[in-house]
A and B are shown apart, each in its own frame.
Chain A
Amino acid sequence: MLLVDLLAGIGRPVLSGCAAVGRVAIFAAVALSHLVRPPFHARQFLRHFLEIAYFSLPVVALTALFTGMVLALQSYTGFARFNANAQSAVASVVVLSMVRELGPVMAALMVSGRIGAAMAAELGTMRVTDQIDALSTLATDPIKYLVTPRILAATIALPLLVLVADILGVAGGFLIAILKLGFTPATYLDASWDVLRAMDVISGLVKAAVFGFVIGLMGCWCGYHSRGGAQGVGQATTAAVVLAAIMIFGLDYVLTEAFFAR
């Protein structure tokens, strides 16, 4: 009897987790199917694209700049212990770390906190104030109007933000290397260029697109299905950020494995 209870205790959350994954997958499939089915809500897409790509720029830029600066400083002090060729090692670590990992992940976390939460809060409020039902009665598919443009905007905007984050992260490392560590600018830049491959940038941008999709999806999913007034909207907002962050880290590993594992 105890064993049955134990198995039931394990099985119930597993089954409910599988059901939730299935529901999210169907939600995503429906949202994506609207990309090829008119009418298209271009105005909605542009509004969200501007909100994500342009208004997230300051926070992503600052995060990337300081991350690059810290990275240069930390890697220099680390390599100094092993008497390594600090100049080229620091340049390599900064550029590869930023472009492959830290640019996409830091930008995604910042955008998740800023945009994923906002999406969940906005859609959650629309849900609890009947605005989503109102859309249906106005002959408009709520997923097509609310969800598809947001997911598309996040998926396209994040790679652009990551491109900026990559450049500023490397620039942050460069500033510290030149102004504080006394490296030669030309040598540092040469070392950066030498180590960088097209695949490093491409993998970072692909990661960014996947992370953008996840942020948009979780923000919309949590908001769209929120219930219970203000408290429900708050829970949806928290869930959107937490779930997106977990998925970003998990997918980051999967994509890194796919791109770079030999």
Chain B
Amino acid sequence: MSGLGLSVRGLRKAFGTKVVLDGVDLDVPPNSSLVVLGGSGSGKSVMLKCILGLIPPDAGQIIIGGQDLARVSRRERRALLDRIGMLFQQGALFDSLPVWENVCFKLLAQKRITRRAARDRAAEVLAQVGLAASVGDLWPAELSGGMQKRVALARAIAAQPDIIFFDEPTTGLDPIMGAVIDGLIVDCVQRLGATAVSITHDMASARRIGQQAAMIHQGRIVWTGPAATLGNTGNAMVDQFARGEREGPIQMELRR
């Protein structure tokens, strides 16, 4: 397995008159881990959905593994997307399927594995995220938030993707469980040798899982740099965001 590089050039997306992405440029080298920071409504999730092909962008290029998603054939696009894993903010586990089928969904859907083998594979991947094999027989509704996140992580890595996207992986978790999930993400990404792109507004999580960080504000990338320097970057916007300060260049739109 080798990670896929990602480049985004001039990505634009508007919903009616509301411009959400206003020319996003981003580079993620293969086998690296980038964290994209940004406040609520800054366009993080829309950017991710555009990259994953869930929302068509209005303009711009998305290049994964050297291939421009807009210029490849349908078959090539499917093959490319096949090498992608995704962890959704709320897990997005399928309620109607038991955990083991959730974990091996992609492998089963593509008939790359028999149902019997899928159970074994699910147990193996669940072990990688610290869950017992017996969890495979439970239903998503029977799991706690932290367990659901781990199962979602297991599902994201089960098909051994080359690039994995994480949408706010620690949202809704207590700090300890958040740290556990971050640790699992780092372990899994390293084990797979994959590229990782995470979006978050959790500073502790960003420092733990990111090598590089980028900040998106009002639909543009306003800063990129090492994740370790967050809070002390010299960029007033990033430092205000990292420290969670009310005063600074970022003004929240509050109506009184």
Question: Which A residues lie at the B interface, using CB under 8 A?
Answer: 39, 122, 125-126, 129-131, 133-134, 136-140, 145
Contacts and interface: CB of A to CB of B under 8 A. Distances in A.
Interface in B65-88: 78, 81-82, 84-86, 88
B109 A131 contact: no
A134 B110 contact: no
B53 A39 contact: no
Nearest to B52: A137
Given A39-B111, A134-B86, A139 B78 contact: yes
B86 to A, nearest CB: 4
A129 B92 contact: yes
Interface of B: 49, 52-54, 78, 81-82, 84-86, 88-90, 92-96, 105-106, 109-111, 155
Given A133-B49, A133-B54, A139 B110 contact: yes
A138 B89 contact: no
B47 to A, nearest CB: 14
A137 B86 contact: yes
Contacts of B96: 122
A131 B89 contact: no
A249 B91 CA distance: 41
Contacts of B88: 130, 133-134
Most buried by B among A125, A131, A133, A138: A138
Nearest to B158: A138
Most buried by B among A39, A126, A134, A145: A134
A139 B109 contact: yes
Nearest to B115: A43
Contacts of A145: 109
Contact of A129 (B78, B90, B105): B90
B95 A138 contact: no
14 contacts: A39-B109, A126-B94, A129-B90, A130-B92, A131-B92, A131-B93, A133-B92, A134-B92, A137-B52, A137-B84, A138-B105, A138-B109, A139-B81, A139-B109
Most buried by A among B53, B88, B109: B109
Nearest to B79: A139
Contacts of A129: 90, 92
Contacts of B90: 129-130
> Nearest 3 A-B pairs (CB), nearest first?
A134-B92, A130-B92, A137-B86
A157 to B, nearest CB: 18
A137 B53 CA distance: 9
Nearest to B89: A130
B25 to A, nearest CB: 23
A140 B53 contact: no
Nearest to B106: A138
A136 B52 contact: yes
Contacts of A134: 86, 88, 92-94
A133 B89 CA distance: 12
Contacts of B81: 136-137, 139
B212 to A, nearest CB: 23
Contacts of B94: 126, 131, 134
B215 to A, nearest CB: 24
Contacts of A140: 105-106, 109
B95 A131 contact: yes
Contacts of B155: 138
Nearest to A139: B82
Given A129-B90, A130-B92, A131-B92, A136 B109 contact: no
A116 B9 CA distance: 43
A213 B105 CA distance: 28
Contacts of B110: 39, 139
A132 to B, nearest CB: 9
